[in-house]
Amino acid sequence: METTEIFDIVVSVIALSVAFSFGKTEYFPIILLTVGVGFVAHELAHRFVARHYGAVAFFKAWPEGLLLMFAMAFITGGQFLFAAPGAVYIYSSSLSRRENGIISISGALMNCLLAVLFLFIGLAIGIGFGESQKALDLATAFITFGTFTNFYLAFFNMIPIPPLDGSKVIAWSFEVWAAFMLLLVILVFFVPTFVL
C-alpha cells in the first residue's frame, strides 16, 4: 500500500469519526475504534475483491465528500451523515456487471459482519465484567456505535445513487440489491437500538 493511500485512509477515518462524534465527543475513542475499523474494513474489502478480479484498485480521499459530511453533520445535529470521505477507485477494462456488483456489495457485507462482531463484544463486556456502571456504559457504547454504525455504513452505501455502491449492485442484480436493502432497512430503522 502506497504512503499516500495510507495517509488518505487515516485522514478519512479521523474525519468520519469526528463527524460521527458530533454531540457525543465523550465517546470519541470508541467511535474512532468502531467507525474506524468499519470504514477501513469496508474500503479494504472493495480493494481486495477488485484486485482478486484483476483490477487496479486504490483508496483516495474525496475532499468534497469530507466537506459535505461535516456540513450534513452540522446541519442535522449529527442525525444524518453523508458518510463518504473517500473511496476505492477501481480501474479495469474487463470487469463484468456481476464482478462490479460483487466488488460493490463486499464493503457493505463486511460492515454487517463487523456489526455482529461488535454486538458480541458489547454483550461479552456487559456479561463478563459484572454490573458496574462503567462496564455497562462501555458495553452499550460498543453495541450502539459498533453495531448500529456499521449497519448504517452498509445501508448508506447501498443507496442506489452514483457514486455509491448501491448503484453498481442494482445495475448487476435488482433482486440481490432489493433483498439486501430490505434487510438493512429493517436493521437500521426497525430493530431497537440503544440510544446514548
Q: Is 2 a catalytic residue?
A: no
| Residue pair 35/17 in contact by the 8 Å Cβ criterion | yes
Q: How many CB atoms lie within 10 A of CB 192?
A: 5
The Cα-based distances of 134 to 73, 125, 146, 193 in angstroms read: 28, 10, 17, 19
Going through the chain in order, the beta strands assigned E by DSSP cover 56-61, 86-91
Output the furthest CA–CA distance in the chain (Å, rounded): 57
Contacts (Cβ under 8 Å, ≥6 apart) of 42: 107, 108, 110, 111, 153, 157
Give the angle subtended at the CA of 185 by the CAs of 118 and 162, to the nearest 5°. Answer: 100
Predicted confidence (pLDDT) at residue 193 exceeds the cutoff of 60: no
Please give the helix or strand (H or E) that residue 75 lies within, else none.
Answer: helix 63-75
pLDDT of residue 106: 98
Closest CA to 69 of 14, 122, 123, 117: 14
Q: How far apart are CA 123 and CA 119, in angstroms?
A: 6
Listing DSSP states for 92-119 in one string gives: -SS--HHHHHHHHHHHHHHHHHHHHHHH
pLDDT of residue 24: 82
Which of the following is catalytic: 2, 5, 26, 43? 43
| Residue pair 153/83 in contact by the 8 Å Cβ criterion | yes
Q: How far apart are CA 39 and CA 86, in angstroms?
A: 10
pLDDT of residue 57: 96
pLDDT of residue 130: 65
> Which residues face 89 on adjacent strands?
58
pTM of the predicted model as reported, rounded to 2 decimal places = 0.87
User: What are the tens digits of pLDDT across the range 150-174?
Assistant: 998 999 999 999 888 999 999 999 9
User: What are the tens digits of pLDDT across the range 31-51?
Assistant: 899 989 999 999 999 999 999
User: What are the tens digits of pLDDT across the range 109-126?
Assistant: 999 999 999 888 888 877
Domains in the chain: boundaries: 3-190
Q: How far apart are CA 169 and CA 127, in angstroms?
A: 39
Q: Residues 102-110: what's their mean pLDDT?
A: 97
Predicted confidence (pLDDT) at residue 194 exceeds the cutoff of 50: no
User: What are the tens digits of pLDDT across the range 57-99?
Assistant: 999 999 898 888 888 888 887 777 777 788 999 999 999 999 9
